[in-house]
A and B are shown apart, each in its own frame.
Chain A
Amino acid sequence: MKRLSQTAMRRLISIGMLLVLVALFTILAGFGQGKFFSSANLIEVVRDASVPAIIGVGVTFVIITSGIDLSTGSAMALVGMTMANIYEYTLLPFKVMVLIGILVGLACGLFNGIVIAKLHVPEFIGTLATMSIYRALTYIIAIKDANGVIKSQPMTHSQYVWLGTGVGKFYYVIMAMIVIVLIGQIVLKYTRYGTNLYSVGASRKAATLSGINVEMTQLIAYVITGFTVAVGAVFTTARLQSATTAIGTDFEFNPIAAAVVGGVALSGGSGDVIGTTIGALFMATLENGVRKLDMNTSYQYVIKGIIIIAVVIFDATYKARMDKKAKEQGAKEGLE
């Protein structure tokens, strides 16, 4: 019998975990109209997973270089608020507004990249700092009412509202996710830049010695994350039809958790975009399913935490077993 490769097994495991979770919530939270397992709700889950999956593409690139980006939630808020300002105070057309939003996202990513790749600030602390910087900037440019109180800015541009809908139930955000995920996967697997990302993550020293520009590779990964953040922000504000200062609060861990559930190692050098997307679906299913249990929010937090720990423990035990097996196999072949 032909053996499945390790990566293929890993993919099957994450899909399996997703299916188990869906089955679990189908039993606990029921199926039928208005329950967990109904076509309307399942599409809702995919729609919820789309923004974390889009941003997950950039975050996966960053994590593969053994970095991390904690600023995605705040950068999203900044992009949204910038567009809200343009909507409120200028007569610029819709397309220009979105374009400027994307540019702001790219600028956020570029700043992250400079802080980490050029100033050599450790990734965790550097993006923690930019997280509070972008959030503060969002508050500074927030639109205030006559009394100077920050208000949520409704954005009801007809084209903007259109962006939040889709062809029937096939939302545009889901289409955007599919396109961006596919491009991300192709870049990662079939371009020079993608290979460089893996080498930088596996060993910075080896990558430098083999002539890869490590700093530039890292910097570009952060810029790409900035782009995906901006796309995520455009769709989020289009769905809410408004921009608030609270957009993306506590969001930053979502794409990271999605990546890890999908098999991207935080130590860098392994994983891919499809895995992260499955992880994002997993996290969205978890959020939605726990909500559908009709329980007090406080218990929802506890259950969410426990399920994440259970999944991570399962994943780690499985990985340890596979490593052991691979070693034994290697030893056997060596003997022969």
Chain B
Amino acid sequence: MKEFNWSKYSKPLILVAFVVILSILRPKAFLSLNNFSNVLWSVSVIGIMVCGTIFVFLIGGIDLSIATLCAFTAVVVVEITHLLGDTPVAVCVGVVAALAVGALAGAVHGLIITTFHIPAFLVTFATQSIFLGLAMVLTNNKIVSCTVPAFTAIGAMKILGFPLPVYFMLVMAVISWFILRKTVYGRYVYAVGGNSMASAISGIHVKGVSIGCYVLSGLTTALGGIVLASMTQQASSSTGSGYTNDVITAGVIGGVSLLGGEGTVPGAIFGAVLMGLLNNGLNLMSVPSTHAGLVKGLVIIVAVAFDAMQHADQSKKKARKVKKRGESV
């Protein structure tokens, strides 16, 4: 008899259970079209970022600077737009500059981490402080607002009823899924994450592959920063605070292993959707944001522990099967 494979369906089931619970508890507020697009909004920023940071997780790295790099790039795009006279062209230049800053930051991370073999944890912990300082320098430690129509359109324009950031998220997801699944580079990323020594011996340029991962992470963080600034029509050194934890959590809930080598883009997007729903649900239940951490933390522990237990179960089963086969032979 074929056993029902729980692990395959557990994630969609968690999501469905969540939606059902919220629809029962807050039917009017939760099931409205307006709320639906609210959820998509908050999901999309986490989703955009996790599409790039998943590369860093896959090679066994981590990025603690997500939130402050997000703030720094948001400040860059807004300041440049103001500097060049608030025209649509200025917005374009600002966006390109912010993306360049993100990519550059990623490249610096990658270079330092791979050249000196320093844990990513430490390097990004230090740069987190640097980005925060730079964002404060650029804004003079104030909130800079930006209501240029061409800029606010990035976050607010709707196509076919969905806000633009949702499309950004989908495009980013498809791109990073494609890179990971269909290109040689993607294979290399998994190989380096699985065992970097073995990959180096089999001829993979581990350093180049790793730096590429950090650049991709920087790029999507910058895109997230731009979208966030556009949605809130402002930027400051506290833009995106809390996103480091949300993005890492989204990845881990989606089955990405922080030890590297394990995880998929659809999984990470699932994690982002769950985090977005969780944020939205807690909001609708009027749980104050200071108390929401209790629920969020417990959900993370339960989800990850559930996953870990299944992993352990499966490997036990596998071992038993192998043993049986050995005996019958």
Contacts and interface: CB of A to CB of B under 8 A. Distances in A.
| A-B interaction | yes
Interface of A: 115, 119-122, 124-126, 128-133, 135-137, 139-140, 245, 253, 257, 260, 266-267, 296-306, 308-309, 312-313, 316-317, 320
A149 to B, nearest CB: 12
A120 B252 contact: no
Nearest to A140: B291
B249 A301 contact: no
A166 to B, nearest CB: 31
Given A302-B129, A304-B133, A320-B117, 14 more contacts: A122-B304, A125-B258, A128-B248, A129-B249, A133-B297, A133-B298, A136-B291, A136-B294, A140-B294, A296-B137, A298-B137, A304-B126, A304-B129, A306-B130
Contacts of A115: 301, 305
Nearest to A70: B245
A260 B248 CA distance: 22
Contacts of A129: 249, 296-298, 300-301, 304
A302 B134 contact: yes
A133 B293 contact: yes
Contacts of A140: 291, 294
Interface residues of B, number: 46
Interface in B271-329: 288, 290-298, 300-301, 304-305, 308-309, 312
A119 B290 contact: no
Contacts of A119: 301, 305, 308-309
Contacts of B127: 305, 309
Contact of B125 (A135, A245, A308): A308
Given A133-B293, A302-B130, A308-B122, A121 B301 contact: yes
Going nearest first, the 8 A-B pairs with the smallest beta carbon separation are A301-B133, A132-B293, A298-B136, A305-B130, A302-B133, A133-B297, A136-B293, A136-B294
Contact of B112 (A139, A301, A309): A309
A139 B297 contact: no
B62 interface: yes
Nearest to A316: B116
Contacts of B308: 119-122
Nearest to B117: A316
B259 interface: yes
Interface in B103-123: 112, 116-119, 121-123
Contacts of A308: 122, 125-126, 129
B35 interface: no
Contacts of B245: 128, 132
A135 B288 CA distance: 13
Nearest to B108: A309
A177 B296 CA distance: 35
A300 B137 CA distance: 10
Contacts of A296: 137
A135 B258 contact: no
B293 A135 contact: yes
Interface in B176-233: none
Nearest to A119: B305
A317 B216 CA distance: 27
Given A125-B258, A125-B300, A140-B291, A257 B134 contact: no
State the main secondary structure of chain A at its contact with B: helix
B134 to A, nearest CB: 6
B129 A297 contact: no
A130 B305 CA distance: 13
B129 A305 contact: yes
A223 B30 CA distance: 41
A131 to B, nearest CB: 8
B238 interface: no
A260 B249 contact: no
B145 interface: no
A67 to B, nearest CB: 13
State the main secondary structure of chain B at its contact with A: helix
Given A132-B294, A313-B112, A305 B122 contact: no
Contacts of B252: 122, 125
Given A301-B129, A305-B128, A136 B290 contact: yes
A132 B117 contact: no
Nearest to B135: A298
* Chain B CB within 10 A, most for which of A132, A253, A266: A132
Nearest to B245: A128
A302 B137 contact: yes
Interface string B72-92: 000000000000000000000
A113 B142 CA distance: 42
A136 B292 CA distance: 7
* Chain A CB within 10 A, most for which of B118, B129, B292, B296: B129
Nearest to A257: B125
A139 B295 CA distance: 13
Contacts of B121: 266
Contacts of B312: 120
Contacts of A132: 245, 293-294, 296-297
Contacts of A126: 301, 304
B292 A120 contact: no
B115 to A, nearest CB: 9
A266 B293 contact: no
Nearest to A309: B126
A124 B136 contact: no
B247 to A, nearest CB: 12
Nearest to A71: B297
A151 to B, nearest CB: 14
Contact of B136 (A266, A297, A303): A297
Contacts of A257: 122, 125
Nearest to A308: B126
* Chain B CB within 10 A, most for which of A124, A136, A140: A136
Contacts of B301: 115, 119, 121, 126, 129-130
A137 B126 contact: no
Nearest to A265: B119
6 contacts: A129-B297, A130-B301, A298-B237, A312-B116, A316-B116, A316-B117
B256 to A, nearest CB: 10
